[in-house]
Structures are given as structure tokens and as C-alpha cells.
Structure 1
Amino acid sequence: MSSFLPYGRQLIEDDDIAAVAEVLRGDWLTTGPSVTRFEEALAARVGAPHAVSCSSATAGLHLACMAAGIGPGDTAVVPAVTFVATANAVRYVGGEVMFADVDPDTGLMRPDDLTRALARAGGAVKAVLPVHMAGQCEDMTAISRITREAGAVLIEDACHALGATAGNAPIGACAQSDMSVFSFHPVKTLAMGEGGAVTTRDPVLAERLARFRSHGLVRDLARMENLGLASAADGSANPWYYEMPEPGFNYRASDIQCALGLSQLGKLDRFVEARRRLADHYEAQLAPLAPMVRPLRRTGFSNPAWHLQVVLIDFQGIGMDRAALMRALHAQGIGSQVHYLPVARQPYYERLYGKPELPGADAYYARCLSLPLFAGMTEAHVERVVATLQKEIEN
């Protein structure tokens, strides 16, 4: 049997390994120069003044919610189709989640979905967290307008979308948002092992993000409250001294992670283009299987950076359930996954909020299946996946 094709995986090359080895031979394993270089390069790449690295995108979402001042009594709107971390980050800071429905053919929250979620929340919403699902972007012009009219903070969950553009702006430039959160998990376009980052145009938010990722500590004398303890006899800052005006977390990324991230960042355009080319080839190869099997509908308001190759399958129509198809594909060396069970259907959230009506999210979930997509694939791999899928469906 041919080699196994997982639904996603990293592409690590010799120069990536050399970059990590150089850090391992150096003086800094964490909180050193590689972190700064990576943050500066990421900010420049996406066109934002500030990038704050962190240990994971989940940490980044948590930091963004903290920086935005979300807390008990506040509500944030989250699309129902996303990974649980988007909603969980709101709960970490004591906020309530209002789930918005999504387009059943894209998995994206539509402007009308957001408007209805805001109405259900009674208009008192602190933040909106749109999700760029599978690497395809939300309609940020409309989402931003509605969010601003509601007086809410806009935090992009861009974990799938590094390298994408919305309108003329790169995702992460925060042209229409307050913060953007990225993931560098191995299945993402850029891999750091684990890792994340938050970008912003706001220096106040950037300072809060950086402070909260490192226990909430400050070392700037101008920010100290106990000046008697903070100052030496000559009025200068005591070099060992720090204060904690409010607690944060240990969410720092290491120099090891950031060295890998910096090396990978130099290949981002190549990786994104490879994924786009493979997604286009999937589109062509899957055409004969329509309407029983078809890719996500492509929108006209973004240039995606495809993270996932999601297909929508009429399982009743093909006479085969999803689990059986996934097992059959796996037996032929092809991995697949489901992205995602609507978060509102998780037991925790059902106990908390009941079972909201989300017809778009439920229809999306009933049909979605993620097929292999990663930069190390070839068009021949795509053809193998589609041919195997067709064979299993027609058997």
C-alpha cells in the first residue's frame, strides 16, 4: 500500500532543523532574541505594528479576551462551527457565549447570522470573534461594520488563515479588527510544534497581551505602584524588582519554537501557494462526484490560505455513513477528520445554554469531512484520494 496520507501535517526541511539546532547550541532557550526576531518578522509579514507570540493559539485567544477586558457579565458572539478553544477562551475570563449560526455550505458566520446573534443577546455584547474557517475568510467588511455599530471589540480567530487576505488587506493586519489570533500547530500552514501569536495595531492592547502572557508582571518604573520598594537610593529602578498589578499566565513561546517559526515564515508564500494549487486540483477532480460530494462553496470576498480541504457529502444519498467511510479510507491509507462538531452541541455548553437552533451549523456538520491537504502533497496524491473516495462511494 502507498504511504499513509494524514488529513494534515507539517513540512519540516533541513534549514528548519538547522535553525532549531542553532538555538540549542546558544545561550537562550526561551525569552531570548529568537522570540523578538520572530515577532518582528510576523508583524512585518501581515502588516501589523505589533505581534505577541505565545505558547498556543488557545493561549492567544485567552490573552486577547483578557486584553479586551471581557469578564463576568459580558457576552461574546462566537460562530457555532469552530474549535472549542474559541468559545472556551470567553469562558476562561468569565464571559458568556452567544453562538451564531453559519452558512451550511461554507461554515462561515454570515452578517445576518451575527445580526441575529446580537439580537438574541439583547444588544449588550462586549466582543465578536469571527472564525476564518478552513482558511477562507469571513466577510470582514460587513462583520466589522455590524460589530462597530454594536460597540463591541472584534477579535479575529485567524488560526486557519495565515497568508489569506480579506479585501486588499492580509489577515493579521487588523485593518478591520482589534486583534487577530494565529495558530502554529503542526497541521497549520506554518508549524512551530505548538505556538501562537496575536497581532494588533493598538499599542495599549499589545502591552496588555505581552504583560498577561508573562504572569502579568511589569518592570517599567513608570508603571510601579510601590515606589519605595521599586527605587534605589538614587531614584533609579532596582534591577531585580518587578510588580504584578494583576495576575497573568505563563503563556510565553520559547526561542526553540520561535526559531522554527521564523524559518517556516520565510516559506509561507510557497506553502500557501502549494495549498491553493492542491485545493484547485481537488475542485477539478471532485467535479464528477457532484452533487453527492463537493468542496466548500468559495466566497468572493477573500483570497483563502487553505488550511483544510473540507468536502460536503450527502451520506444518506451515497448510502454510507461517515464513520464507515472514514474507516474505509483509512484502510486504503488515507486519513480524514471532522471539523467540527458545532461547539454549542458540546455537553458543557448544552448544560450551560440549552440547545439553540442552529440549522446552518447542523447542516454543515452533518455533511463535512476533511480530506488530506498539506504542502508536502502532490497533485498525484489528490488524484489518489479522490479516486479512492469515488471507489468507496460507488461500492
Structure 2
Amino acid sequence: MKVPFFKLSCGDNEYAYVRDVLDSGWLTTAGKAQEFELRFAECVGAKYAVAVNSCTAALHLALDALDVKQGDRVFVPTMTFTATAEVVNYLGAHPVFLDCDYLTRNITPAILRDAITRCPDIKVLMLVHFGGHPAQLLDDENGDEGILAICKRHGIRIVHDAAHAFPAQIDGKSIGGFPDISCFSFYANKTITTGEGGMLATDDEAVYARAKLMRLHGIDRDVWDRFTSSKAGWEYDVVAPGYKYNMPDLAAAVGLAQLENASLFRAARQRCAEVYFARLGSIEAIDLPRSDVSHEDHAWHLFPITLNSSASIERDSLIQELTQAGIGTSVHYKPLHRMTYYRDRYQLRKEKFPSAERLWSGTLSLPLYPTMTNEQLQYVCDQLWRLAGSSCSSLKSAA
């Protein structure tokens, strides 16, 4: 049986909306992108949304809008994709890397409090909602401060790296509706896709205005306004040294169709996760991800598992065996403190990141997509039982 790591889900409207754009003769940023912005903002409960060509672009625009500049310091989790940190360097600022919780892979209030004690001059927190699991933003049932309250008390702005987190929510409020800025990814394997693309969402009008301006070369009129306005299209001003980050209508058309099915896609991914929890929970060698929110509030972009110290097979060997069995996997992530650039520039030592190190040695992500069949799910679980059970000591010794 073949089980890919990811498989695209799309229907008739993706084709229909793209055909509309092609028939219009206007392929770049225009009416479809504006419609996508409006509908996405409504979906996540934000006042404003800015469509861009990647989540990386959204993160960069977010830090620019918060006036992060040369020499500033920004908290970044080590367990994330490089984009979360690299945009800090774009502006001449410096990432300060934080460890994560072992089972959720998120920054916790305790981790944040300790980091502030050591680095009180932090300007912004880049908060990753790993795998679609919302970080602990709100105060807990005992009244202990959540991340929002801690950041507010210390004057730290939050950029939510929500690349994994659409349409996750906390207590009925979507990630995207919380302060200060949320950045989403529509990369090919994300929970909804535009092929390449992203979105910045915020309630802050000044942030919105700055991001919209900088998205397209710092020009004071976007191209659709210049086309539809009675004012001459060639008449515009450059008021800032902006970027080329706009989302074309071709991509937005796909996004609009995907957005229509976002809740169905999420429920289908949850179905897959529930099977994994039920079938794999009693394998002693595997630590499953912990969900601190209801399964309905989780986006389920990823289902990462971790081989623990009792496992008799190593992670790389397990991946190789699963590949030979026709099962696609991935690793999320090699932590940034192990990447040459960050390790060497910031003199990072792995001993400072014990949870990330523990994860790195054993983590892999299982296939998870809306159209996975029950037969595929059971096959993945059967192979994990075969390979990660108590009878696999010979595999490790052979490796």
C-alpha cells in the first residue's frame, strides 16, 4: 500500500475560480485577492487581512510594522522552520532562541517567564502554534497568567506564527483574532493552500496600513486601485522602500475555494488524528503529542510522534523502514540551534535546549490529510506496531 505524507484536496470550485481569473485577463493582485482578504479576516475574527505571497513575507511585514529594527532582540522558538527566525535578521535584529514544551512543542508561559528574567529587553515574541496546536495564550483555571497577559505586562508585542494554525481556536476565538498580528501559510501542504501564499491578520489599523503599503514596493496606490480608479493609473508615489510580496489573483482564486471547505478539511484531519491516538497510544516506545485544547479546537496540520528512550529502533531507521513500506513521513524540525548559521552566529549550545534536543533525536511526522482512508490509517498504525514494538530490537542492532 502507498500512503503519501500529504495529498492535496480540491474540488470543482478551485478550477472554476481560476478559470474566472484567466477569463478576466487580469492575473495579478486584484478583485479575487481583495475578496480572499475580506473572507479570511471574517473567518478568523480579525478586522483586517493582507494577502501576500508567503507566510515568510507576512512575518517580515509584521516585524516591520512593529518597528523592529537594527539591534532589537526578538524571542524565537528553536523548534520551528527557519522563516520564523530569518525575518528577524532581515531587519538587523537578533533572535533569542527558546526551548519548547516536549509534548506540545510550543512555548509555554513558564518558558516565557524564565526567558524574560534572563532577557528583559525583548521587543517581540514570535509565537509558533506548532502543528496546529494553539499555544497557551489565556490565563489558566488557577489564575496563572497566560502568554497574552505576560507579554502585555512586559510590553512585548506578539507575532503569531500561525503557519500551522488555521483554523485553530481557543475557547471559540480563532487564532488570528488575538493580539497583535497573526501570520498564516498557504503553502502546498498546509491546511488550505494557494500553492504559495500567506496572510497577515490584525485588528491594528496602523499595522494593516503599513503592511499593505510595504507589500508592494511602498507605492501609495495598489495596482487594482490604479486600474479601477478614474485617476490616471500611472500616477502614484513611492513613500517607503517596500517589497514585492503581493498575492496574485490566480493564487487567491484557489484560496477562496479552499476556504469554503476549511472546516470540512479540519474535521477530516481530526478523524485521522483520533485513529492515531486510539491505535498508537499503547506503544510504549512512542510519545504521542499532547493536546491541551479540545480536538475540535486543534487545526491538526501535523501529527508528530517521538520515539522515546525505551524504543529499540532509531528514528532514522524507522523512517527508512516506513519508506520501504510505502509510507511517507517528514521531520518537524531539526531545531534552529543545530543549524549552522544560527549555531555559529549566536554561539548556541544544545545543552540549553533539552526538550528540543529530546524531540530532535526521535521525532517524525505521520501522514495526515483529509482524504486518508481508514485502510491507509490502519496500515500506518500496523507498520508502527510492527516496527516500534518490543520485537524490533534486531532492527536497532542492525542499524
TM-score, scaled relative to structure 1? 0.91
Q: How does 1:174-253 map to 2 (within 5 A)?
A: 174=178, 177-219=179-221, 240-253=234-247
Give the corresponding residue for 1:91.
89
Deviation at 1:301, TM superposition (A): 7.6
Aligned equivalents of 2:232, 2:51: Cα separation in 1: 28
Contact 1:77 1:128 in 2 (8 A): yes
Aligned equivalents of 1:201, 1:334: Cα separation in 2: 42
Deviation at 1:239, TM superposition (A): 5.2
Deviation at 1:115, TM superposition (A): 1.6
Which of 133, 138, 147 is the matching residue for 1:143? 147
Which of 123, 126, 138 is the matching residue for 1:126? 123
Give the corresponding residue for 2:70.
72
Aligned equivalents of 1:70, 1:237: Cα separation in 2: 35
Aligned equivalents of 1:56, 1:281: Cα separation in 2: 32
Contact 1:35 1:53 in 2 (8 A): yes
Letter in 1 for 2:313: M
Aligned equivalents of 2:17, 2:238: Cα separation in 1: 34
Contact 2:286 2:311 in 1 (8 A): no
Give the corresponding residue for 1:224.
none
Which of 152, 165, 168 is the matching residue for 2:172? 168
Give the corresponding residue for 2:52.
54
Tell me, what secondary structure is at the counterpart of 1:29? coil
Aligned equivalents of 1:13, 1:239: Cα separation in 2: 36
Give the corresponding residue for 2:27.
29
**1:386 lines up with 2:378 in the alignment:** no
Tell me, what secondary structure is at the counterpart of 2:359? helix
Tell me, what secondary structure is at the counterpart of 1:288? coil
Aligned equivalents of 1:182, 1:76: Cα separation in 2: 19
Give the corresponding residue for 2:278.
284
Deviation at 1:317, TM superposition (A): 2.7
Q: Mind listing any 5+ residue stretches in structure 2 that lack a counterpart?
A: 139-145, 223-229, 393-399
Letter in 2 for 1:275: R
Contact 1:195 1:257 in 2 (8 A): yes
Aligned equivalents of 1:67, 1:117: Cα separation in 2: 24
In structure 2, do the counterparts of structure 1 residues 67 and 22 end up closer, same or farther at CA, with 3 Å as the change threshold?
same
Aligned equivalents of 1:309, 1:203: Cα separation in 2: 36
Which of 299, 313, 317 is the matching residue for 2:310? 317
In structure 2, do the counterparts of structure 1 residues 180 and 108 end up closer, same or farther at CA, with 3 Å as the change threshold?
same
Letter in 1 for 2:318: L
Contact 2:78 2:97 in 1 (8 A): yes
Which of 352, 359, 366 is the matching residue for 1:364? 359
Contact 2:336 2:343 in 1 (8 A): no
Aligned equivalents of 1:13, 1:5: Cα separation in 2: 21
Aligned equivalents of 2:255, 2:387: Cα separation in 1: 39
Contact 2:322 2:328 in 1 (8 A): yes
Letter in 2 for 1:269: S
**1:14 lines up with 2:12 in the alignment:** yes
- Structure 1 segments, 4+ long, off by >4 Å, are 236-239
Aligned equivalents of 2:307, 2:221: Cα separation in 1: 55
Contact 1:10 1:189 in 2 (8 A): no
Contact 1:103 1:364 in 2 (8 A): no
Contact 1:296 1:310 in 2 (8 A): yes
**1:355 lines up with 2:353 in the alignment:** no
Aligned equivalents of 1:201, 1:9: Cα separation in 2: 34
Tell me, what secondary structure is at the counterpart of 1:128? strand
Aligned equivalents of 2:6, 2:74: Cα separation in 1: 30
For each residue in 1:44-102, what CA deviation from the matched residue of structure 2 results, as whole angstroms up to 9, or x when unmatched? 11111101000011111111111111111211101111111001111111111111111
Which of 143, 157, 160 is the matching residue for 1:153? 157
Letter in 2 for 1:307: H
Give the corresponding residue for 1:228.
none
For each residue in 1:309-367, what CA deviation from the matched residue of structure 2 results, as whole angstroms up to 9, or x when unmatched? 111112x5332221111111111110111101111221111111112401121112222
Give the corresponding residue for 2:142.
none
For each residue in 1:259-303, what CA deviation from the matched residue of structure 2 results, as whole angstroms up to 9, or x when unmatched? 0000000000000111111111110010231x2113201114882
What is the RMSD of the two structures over their aligned residues, measured on CA atoms? 1.7
Letter in 2 for 1:255: D
Letter in 2 for 1:375: P
Aligned equivalents of 1:347, 1:301: Cα separation in 2: 38
Deviation at 1:237, TM superposition (A): 7.3
Aligned equivalents of 2:353, 2:287: Cα separation in 1: 22
Aligned equivalents of 2:244, 2:292: Cα separation in 1: 39
Aligned equivalents of 2:299, 2:233: Cα separation in 1: 45
Q: Mind listing any 5+ residue stretches in structure 1 that lack a counterpart?
A: 221-235
For each residue in 1:10-46, what CA deviation from the matched residue of structure 2 results, as whole angstroms up to 9, or x when unmatched? 2122221222122112121011110011001101111
**Once structures 1 and 2 are overlaid, which stretch shifts more, 305-314 or 5-14?**
5-14
TM-score, scaled relative to structure 2? 0.90
In structure 2, do the counterparts of structure 1 residues 301 and 371 end up closer, same or farther at CA, with 3 Å as the change threshold?
closer
Letter in 1 for 2:346: Y
Contact 2:307 2:314 in 1 (8 A): no
Sequence identity (%): 35
